[in-house]
Amino acid sequence: MVHQLEIGVAWPQNVVLGLTSRCNFSCVTCNPHRHDEVGQLAVRDSYTDMPEAVFLKLEDLFRHAKTVSMGGVGEPTISHNFIERIQWIRSLNPNIQITIFTNGTTLSSTHAVEKLARAIDYLHVSVGGLASYEEIMIGGSLEQTLGNLEALRKVRRRTGRPQRVELGVVLMRSNVDDLVGLTKLACEMEFDRIAFKDLWVFDEKLKAESLRHDPELAGQIRRHLVKARDVGIPIRCEPWPELSTRIVRPGHFIKCSFGALRSGHLWPTHSTFAYWLRIMQGKLDKRRRSSRWWGNSPLLKMSPVCHSPWEMAQVTETGNVLLCCEGMTELGNIREKSFWEVWTNGTASSYRTGMLNGVYYGACVSCKYVSSESKSFVRKSG
Ligand SMILES: C[S@@+](CC[C@H](N)C(=O)[O-])C[C@H]1O[C@@H](n2cnc3c(N)ncnc32)[C@H](O)[C@@H]1O
Ligand code: SF4
């Protein structure tokens, strides 16, 4: 139990902010909002918005952060003083990059879209399916969502904002037949990218929807995704990163423009220089870790498996601070203390020193980002 080494702690660059736990939908995928067999909410805690006193305590954090992303466990766009709060964050830090995850319901008029679009930089709209939309996103209407996406498209054409928009789809049995259609929709509505995400499984019902638990379903989804690549819009594919693609315009090998400017070729992501650089870094890391001499060297200790404990903070609507967005690394609450006090407290320090010394604490022990490769040479504790 010796953990002396801890590199300097600065303000986190990336903030995941939960403005509310309330939502106007109860999607079947969503742990806090889905209903059980008798139609009751699966989790019956009282859902709330972040109180003003908690929000204001984040002033210094917003001044120092590079990005803030709002999604959390509810629908941010229905939270208390939503636009005013975003505008306040921007006034504190004009260069901060603001991302919103939304189910798209409040994009219901050109005026509403424009107000939101001007306040943020990136927008991620979650869509459950096409034919399957209303079975998955309970409380939503496909017709209404399509109208809202059209309003977003028009505003974006006119104003160029938000800078980037992404359509997000959680892959599951119920929407497998909609995957190509959803990709075409993203293309028609001039999204920059479609993101296919892996389903987190919370119960037996969701397990039956999960491609991770069914090789036949995985094969079926994969085939649909291969077809989706032909639609010609960039794809981010979480379960199979090798299926990810991006648009590359001649002369823009790494940085490129998407959306209405789309005119280049579609390339698999792994053809980019950045991809190969990451692969090479991974190989070097592996060699360094597996070598006996390097395995015990201070160099290993200065290269943690995960950087989140230094770079990312999640703040929930109740004021809880967590070290990353995985939802389990709780450090404390800012109702009684300042953010900085919580961010630098003993719990945070033990996560960081553990990470540097190859001994993991608390939630990091079972985190998916601590890969099996790393687990073979690190020790765990607590
Ligand atoms: C919980 S929602 C909150 C923001 C907003 N209400 C929305 O739907 O985008 C954040 C993201 O989690 C995704 N999500 C919900 N349930 C999921 C599950 N079981 N597995 C993976 N992602 C899920 C949603 O698709 C959404 O993109
Ligand atoms: S819209 Fe988002 S927060 Fe609301 S139930 Fe669906 S996934 Fe959950």
CB atoms within 10 A of CB 310: 20
User: Residues of 64-89 as b/e, b for ≥16 C-beta within 10 angstroms?
Assistant: bbebbbbbbbbbbbbbbebeebbeeb
Highest mean pLDDT: which of 72-76, 100-104, 214-218, 290-294? 100-104
Between 270 and 76, residue with greater pLDDT: 76
CA nearest to 262, candidates 363, 322, 193: 193
Q: What is the pLDDT of residue 31?
A: 86
Average pLDDT over residues 302-324: 88
Give the nearest ligand 1 atom to 169 CA.
25
Between the CA of residue 258 and those of 156, 221, 229, what are the distances in Å? 13, 25, 15
Give the nearest ligand 2 atom to 32 CA.
8
Q: What is the pLDDT of residue 180?
A: 97
Q: Is pLDDT at 276 greater than 70 in this prediction?
A: no
Highest mean pLDDT: which of 99-113, 275-289, 321-335, 362-376? 99-113
pLDDT tens sequence across 161-214? 999 999 999 999 999 999 999 999 999 999 999 999 999 998 888 999 999 889
pLDDT tens sequence across 18-53? 999 999 999 999 988 887 665 565 555 578 999 999
Query: Measured in angstroms, how far is the CA atom of residue 357 from the centroid of ligand 2?
Result: 38
Query: Measured in angstroms, how far is the CA atom of residue 26 from the centroid of ligand 2?
Result: 6
Q: What is the pLDDT of residue 86?
A: 97
Place of tokens 């109180």: 51
Q: How far apart are CA 354 and CA 58, in angstroms?
A: 27
Name every residue whose Cβ is closer than 8 Å to that of residue 309 and which is 6 or more positions away in sequence. 323, 324, 329, 348, 351, 352, 355
Q: Is pLDDT at 14 greater than 90 in this prediction?
A: yes
Please count the helices (runs of H) and the strands (runs of E) in the chain: 16, 14
pTM of the complete model: 0.86
To 10 degrees, the CA torsion angle through 189, 194, 200, 201? 60
Give the nearest ligand 1 atom to 200 CA.
20
Residue bearing the CA closest to ligand 2, atom 7: 30
Q: What is the pLDDT of residue 6?
A: 52
pLDDT tens sequence across 232-266? 899 999 999 889 998 765 544 333 334 444 455 67
- Whether 27 contacts 41, CB under 8 Å: no
**What average pLDDT does the structure give for the chain?**
83
CB atoms within 10 A of CB 30: 22
Query: From the CB of 69, is ligand 1 less than 6 Å away?
Result: no
Between the CA of residue 314 and those of 41, 98, 203, what are the distances in Å? 25, 14, 25
- Whether 113 contacts 106, CB under 8 Å: no
Q: How far apart are CA 183 and CA 188, in angstroms?
A: 9
Q: Is pLDDT at 288 greater than 80 in this prediction?
A: no
